[in-house]
Amino acid sequence: MFPRLLKLPGDRSCLLFGAGGTGKRTLVRQALPGEATRTYDLADPDTEDRLARDPLALEREVLGLPAGIRCVVLEEVQRVPPLLEAVRSLMEGRRAPQSFVLTGSSARMFRAGGANPLAGRAALRLLFPLLRRELGPAWELERALAFGGLPEVWNLAGDAERTEYLRAYAHAYLREQIRAEQAVRRLDPFRRFLQAAARGSGQILNYSRIAREVGADVKTVQGWYGVLEDTFLGFFVAGCRLPVRRQLRQAAKFYLFDPGVARALGLLLAVPPEPGTRHHGELFEQLVLAELHARSAYGNLDWRFSHLRSRDGVAVDLVLDRPGRPTALVQITGAEQVREEHGKSLRAFQDDFPDAELFLLSRDPRPRRMGRIRALPWEEGLEQFD
C-alpha cells in the first residue's frame, strides 16, 4: 500500500475519476472510516441492476440512513448515470446530511448527457498511476518503463505476474469498460485501433493513416480517441499555436497514460524495452509526460501542454505554459550521456521564445549548462516545474 499525493476534500462531496486499476477504491477506503460510510458498489451486478431499475431507490435509502453515516460512496457511477440526478436531488436543499463520494473510470456520461449535474456541488479529483514520489524507495525506472505504475503492478512479486496482470487489464478494458458503456459498435476494428494507438503513443496523430490501418473511417477513429480520453487511458498534447516565425505543424499528439498499459495494448509485452532502443526512448518520454500531466492535476496548476514541430522536422517534445511562471520548452531523451546534439531542437526555437526556460531531461546523472539550456537528470528536472 503506497501513500498517494491526491487527497480527498474533507467533508465536501467529491467526484473521483481515473482509469481502472489506479486505486480509487483503496484511496476512498483509506480516507473514510468504514463505520461512518455507506458504499454502493455498482460493479456488483445485483447492486447495478437494482439501482438501474429504480434510481430513486437511492434517494429513499439515503434519507433513511442512520445518523452515524456521514458519507455515501457510489463506486463506478458511470454504470448507472441516472444516479447523478438522484444525488443532485439529495444535495439540493441539503435534504441529506451526508456528503457523497462518486468514483468512476469514465466521463462519457457527461458527454452523452450534457453538463455535469453536480458541477459546483462536488469537487472533481483525478487519480493517476503511481508517481515516482509516491513509490519512494521502491521506485525503479526500468520496472516503471516495462510495467508502468498501476498499484497492483508494484504489489506483484515478479515480472511474469506483472506481465499476466497487464494482459488481463487490456482484455478487461475491452470487456468491461467498452462493452458495458456500448461506446464502440464493432470491437474487432477497435482492437486494431488500440494496438495502433498504443504503438503510436507520443507520435503526431495521422487519423487518415490509422483509419486505413484499422479498417475504419476517419471520423470513427477520431471518436475512438475521444473514448480513450473519456476513459482516462490517455491525453492529447496539442500542436503549439504560439506566434513563432517558422511554419509549424499543428496536429496533436496523444499519449497513453501508463507505459505498462501501452505495452499491453500494443501487444509488446514480449519485447523488453532495452536501453538505447527506440522503444525504450518512447516509453521514457511517455513516462515523463504522464508524470507532469498527473502533477498538474494534483496541484491544480492549470498547466497547458503543447508541442513544437516545424515543417522541416525540427521538434520540441513539450511546451509547458505555467501560469505566473515562464513558459518551459522541454526536450526529453533517454540517453545516459547528454551531448551537444541533444539540445539542437531547443536551440533552433530559443529565439522564438526569448523569455522561456529551456530544459533537456535525460537519464544522465550529471547536470550541466549548455548556453540557455539546463540539461538535468530527469528526476531533478521534474522538481523544477512545480
Q: What is the pLDDT of residues 298-310, one digit of tens each?
A: 999 999 999 998 8
Task: Please give the model's pTM, rounded to 2 decimal places.
Answer: 0.93
Residue type for position 224: W
Residue type for position 90: L
Burial 123-132 (b: 16+ CB within 10 A, else e): eebbbbbbbb
Residue 40 burial by CB count (10 A; 0-12/13-18/19+): exposed, middle or buried?
buried
Q: Is 63 left (phi over 0), alpha (psi -120 to 50) or beta?
A: alpha
What are the pLDDT digits (tens) for 59-78? 999 989 898 898 999 999 99
Q: Cα(285)–Cα(282) distance, rounded to whole angstroms?
A: 5
* Alpha helices, DSSP H, located in the chain: 24-31, 45-53, 56-63, 83-91, 108-113, 132-135, 141-147, 151-155, 159-172, 179-181, 187-199, 207-214, 218-230, 259-265, 278-298, 344-349, 378-383
How long, in residues, is the chain? 386
pLDDT bin (cut points 50, 70, 90) of residue 368 is very high
Residue 145 has pLDDT above 80, yes or no: yes
pLDDT bin (cut points 50, 70, 90) of residue 161 is very high
The C-alpha cell 538535468 sits at 376
> What pLDDT is recorded for position 132?
95
Choose which CATH entry (3.40.50.300, 2.40.400.10, 1.20.120.1200, 3.30.499.10) describes domain 14-126.
Answer: 3.40.50.300
Q: Cα(265)–Cα(282) distance, rounded to whole angstroms?
A: 15
Residue 282 phi/psi, 5-degree rounding, is -65, -40
CATH 3.40.50.300 in the chain, residues?
Answer: 14-126
